[in-house]
Amino acid sequence: MEARQAMDDEQRWQAVQAKDRRFDGAFVTGVHSTGIYCRPSCPARLPLRRNVRFYASPADAEAAGLRACKRCSPDAQSAEEACVLAAIAAIREEGALTLDQLAELTGYSPAHFQRLFKRTVGLSPAGFARALREERVREALEKGASVTHALYEAGYSGPSRFYAQTKGRLGMTASDWAGGGKGRMLHWSVISTSLGDMLVAASEKGVCCLSFGEGEKELRARFPGADLVPADSALDALFRQVVEAVEDPRLDNSHIPLDVKGTAFQQRCWEALRTIPPGETRSYGEQAAMLGKPGAARAVGSANGANRIAVLIPCHRIVQADGSLGGYAYGAEIKAELLRREGQG
């Protein structure tokens, strides 16, 4: 799995703090105050960091004089993980497989394997296969392939199938990716809020910009190829929903349509941000781990910085590893206030 790439001790510790099952098998945690070693996801109470050392395998931990934890059995974990890894390899090689096919491959019942796969990967086997195909399309488009070639190479039967499966998701269409999204008409307005003046712009697909303390000059710099038009009453309802989401960021805003442009990695980062519940925060390292790329904290920070839609894509929920606020494009005061509002009862 992608999550099992080279990690440093800080990233391993973040995985242990999160009790993240995806890293079981990638390393074991040695607790030298108790003389045992555990999986990263061990349900036991979190040890003190100063008592912890990390080992590549159970054999390495045992060579250092540690014994296996009886609660999480890190030395007897591989049967289920091996089945999940075998299924991932098969999906990467052959494309989407039915649950019956995966069950036959792994020896589990279809229902049990579905639960096992989702618990380990975070997606169902079908969801993983769809995400893999979409990622391959976007990667091909970024490299300059034609839309038709990219879709067929990724395994879609035609463009209509791709659009049907990706309809309503965060991100632009395949043709937008290939053409850079130029020539769009954007309707915009500056609206007074309790956080200050807020710039909102929307295309026919949805909100494409939400920022604070900016105006037409900044919007034109962000979208130099777009035709900017002052918003009219037709967008009152949409902009009212945006204001409500800013005034109370605890509200579910998933119904507000978005139109964003970014690389495949940026869009994955922004999707991950939208899965963080209001009132909770993550570090850059934890967000990177959510993407299965635990060593990419710096790249995640850059992707978050490229986010043009504040609040609705909540990069304010990312903080430093020590819990401090860290930076925010529109100032620490607005970030702190958004988090304060989300933490209200």
Which sequence positions are flagged as catalytic? 38, 315
Residue pair 135/264 in contact by the 8 Å Cβ criterion: yes
- What 3-state DSSP class applies to 7? coil
Residue 309 CB partners (closer than 8 Å, separation 6+): 207, 208, 209, 210, 258, 260
For residues 148 and 131, give the distance between their C-alpha atoms in angstroms, rounded to a whole number. 18
What separation in angstroms does the CA of 268 have from each of 117, 133, 171, 206, 293? Answer: 20, 14, 10, 18, 11
Residue pair 200/239 in contact by the 8 Å Cβ criterion: yes
**What count of residues does the chain have?**
345
Q: Helix 125-142 crosses helix 110-121 at what angle (to 10 degrees)?
A: 50
Strand partners, 55: 28
List the structure tokens of 203.
């295309």
Identify the DSSP state of 329: T
Q: Helix 99-106 crosses helix 78-94 at what angle (to 10 degrees)?
A: 130
Q: How many CB atoms lie within 10 A of CB 102?
A: 22
Residue pair 304/282 in contact by the 8 Å Cβ criterion: no
Give the pairing type, strands 28-31 and 36-38: antiparallel
Placement of tokens 């790329």 in the chain: 293
- Sheet with 185-193, strands from edge to edge, namely 207-212, 196-202, 185-193, 227-230
